[in-house]
Structure 1
């Protein structure tokens, strides 16, 4: 997918999850707590990958990831974020660096697995980490790439769920290659129209709607990681996202 194709921009955004998370310590609403849980689940693997690439063992990486989220919540770290910087991923990485530096001076008191903050499938995570490309990426670059892939994978899953809820799961699987993310090459519109048993015009319209909805979801998900996002800020973040891949 090319960034130049991202033309459609929602005219307004709901309160971002980033903003909700920053209010979570002062607001115990279900919405704020749900936002915190969602973001923790979204970021735990990129943070885990950063820690592993920094030289820690799988067991220590699990401990440290859980310990980081626990420390972040206990000390209300999110309330200290600078709204001017805006990027949640940058803020989290800065906090993680400080946490790891402190961990060299002390050992975690809790046993591994006690008081879990996020549900971590560490077997899956370690298997995924071992399949990371052998490209000698720094921990920072690996973190950025895993964040970018997490956003793309999440929006793709949301899009798939929307199609399945409408009883169009099969159609989604047929059209998915047109998003440019699958392993299968996209077919010509003529070939796809024949496969679906419909007109060429209808096929092109369906592909257009698929791409348009995916762009909307991307803007929505990226906006959730920025503080008071503008369309320009979201465009810039999406551009950086693509450069991380």
Structure 2
């Protein structure tokens, strides 16, 4: 697999050049990770009607290049960097609010949280992060399958990729696809293979070197499994 353009590269190019192509890629990045960021903001006790606005503000800062100007792979895993950046953003917002209430006097305000709260925050962020990567890989796979099998074909095949509980038999699938049962099994196998490739590609965008991909894939699977077992939302 060719190692793709990473999120570090997207951030660097967007903040340095601000070209249309880079901004488009950065916009896609923001769209992909909107939910993890909004989840953290919501768990901080921000009023529901402000969550969307604050999430947008955070990403606007990212797109304008001020907050992430010195983003580098040496900052660690991209997900860790993004979470730390969000915490800094929220701390800065808290300082501004405090200053406003005190008539403009700017003072340093630290966000004090116990370790349990911080751990829960990281867990929720990681869960939604993992889901974002998974969903993006499903979306890419779906687009590929639609070109080959159309909307109806993807509709029935999708259950063999993300369905829960019982799915239709391969015999029924073969009828829906207009092929033999053996052909249906081959189609499902190829689709799952493409999904694994797409998921690997999504994960590769969040690390700084190829050798880190397998490590992140393991983390992603364990994170999703943990959520499934705990039933947390």
Q: 2:159 aligns with which of 170, 173, 177?
A: 177
Q: Any conservation in 2 of the 1:177–1:185 contact (CA below 8 Å)?
A: no
Q: 1:201 aligns with which of 159, 164, 182?
A: 182
Q: Do the aligned partners of residues 75 and 35 (structure 1) sit closer, same or farther apart at CA in structure 2, a change above 3 Å counting?
A: closer
The corresponding residue for 1:226 is 207
Q: Any conservation in 2 of the 1:46–1:143 contact (CA below 8 Å)?
A: yes
CA apart distance, 1:211: 0.6
The corresponding residue for 1:23 is 13
Q: Do the aligned partners of residues 192 and 166 (structure 1) sit closer, same or farther apart at CA in structure 2, a change above 3 Å counting?
A: closer
The corresponding residue for 2:129 is 147
Q: Do the aligned partners of residues 203 and 72 (structure 1) sit closer, same or farther apart at CA in structure 2, a change above 3 Å counting?
A: closer
Q: Any conservation in 1 of the 2:15–2:65 contact (CA below 8 Å)?
A: no
CA distance, structure 2, for counterparts of residue 194 and residue 186 of structure 1: 14
The corresponding residue for 2:106 is none
Q: Any conservation in 2 of the 1:51–1:139 contact (CA below 8 Å)?
A: no
Q: How does 1:87-236 map to 2 (within 5 A)?
A: 87-107=77-97, 138-179=120-161, 181-193=162-174, 196-227=177-208, 229-230=209-210, 232-236=211-215
Q: Do the aligned partners of residues 97 and 207 (structure 1) sit closer, same or farther apart at CA in structure 2, a change above 3 Å counting?
A: same
TM-score norm. by structure 1 comes to 0.74
CA apart distance, 1:102: 1.9
CA distance, structure 2, for counterparts of residue 45 and residue 39 of structure 1: 11
CA distance, structure 1, for counterparts of residue 94 and residue 78 of structure 2: 25
CA apart distance, 1:218: 0.7
RMSD of the alignment, in Å? 2.5
**Which contiguous aligned blocks of 4+ residues in structure 1 show a shift greater than 6 angstroms?**
none
Q: Do the aligned partners of residues 18 and 185 (structure 1) sit closer, same or farther apart at CA in structure 2, a change above 3 Å counting?
A: farther
CA distance, structure 2, for counterparts of residue 176 and residue 56 of structure 1: 36
Q: Any conservation in 2 of the 1:17–1:35 contact (CA below 8 Å)?
A: no
* 1:238 lines up with 2:217 in the alignment: yes
Deviations 1:175-213 (A, max 9, x none): 22222x223523443453355453232122111110111
CA apart distance, 1:167: 4.3
CA distance, structure 2, for counterparts of residue 201 and residue 63 of structure 1: 51
CA distance, structure 2, for counterparts of residue 15 and residue 138 of structure 1: 31
CA apart distance, 1:25: 1.5
Helix, strand or coil at the partner of 2:141: helix
CA distance, structure 2, for counterparts of residue 70 and residue 171 of structure 1: 38
The corresponding residue for 2:68 is 78
Question: What number of residue pairs does the alignment pair up?
Answer: 205
Q: Do the aligned partners of residues 90 and 187 (structure 1) sit closer, same or farther apart at CA in structure 2, a change above 3 Å counting?
A: same
